[in-house]
Amino acid sequence: MGMSIASGGKGGRRKRGVPRYRAMAEINMTPFIDVMLVLLIIFMVAAPLLATGVSIDLPETRAAALNIDQKPIAVAIDAKGEVTLMDQPVAPEQLAEKIKALAKGGFDERIYVRGDRAVNYGRVAQVMALITSAGFKKVALVTEQEKK
């Protein structure tokens, strides 16, 4: 006559093995947040490494000749360490002013530096430092094409 407590109140027993779970309506955000935090850490570590480096545009030695409509600004350093700008000798103190006068495109003008094999690498670096300190950022080292 009386209802048993174990019956569940609906007049019968529950079947074994059938779960009473319903469909979950929420999206589980925990894996998404974990992935975003890992990516954030990776980019925070990698960003300073990408910002540092030398701002010199070095051409490959096996590259073909450049097709240029206008004559580029060329700085050459001979074996004695003397600097010439567009085949005219120039003092290192006057190099920046003369390049600024020749640069029609402003500071975005590309400047090619050619150094003799016998010249000291430090001398080439000094000339490139003079050019970049004047505000020019597109400085390229010119090499001869490799012979096969």
How far is 1 from 29, CA to CA, in rounded Å?
Answer: 50
Instruction: Give me the torsion for CA of 82, 84, 88, 92, rounded to 10°.
Output: -80
**Between 51 and 141, residue with greater pLDDT:** 141
**Between 124 and 35, residue with greater pLDDT:** 35
How far is 93 from 140, CA to CA, in rounded Å?
Answer: 20
Pairing of strands 73-77, 83-85: antiparallel
Pairing of strands 111-115, 139-141: parallel
36 pLDDT exceeds 60? yes
- Residue 125's pLDDT is what? 86
- Residue 35's pLDDT is what? 94
The pTM assigned to this predicted structure is 0.50
- Residue 38's pLDDT is what? 95
Please, what CATH class does the domain formed by 73-141 belong to?
alpha beta
- Low-confidence winner among 3-7, 70-74, 92-96, 133-137 (lowest mean pLDDT): 3-7
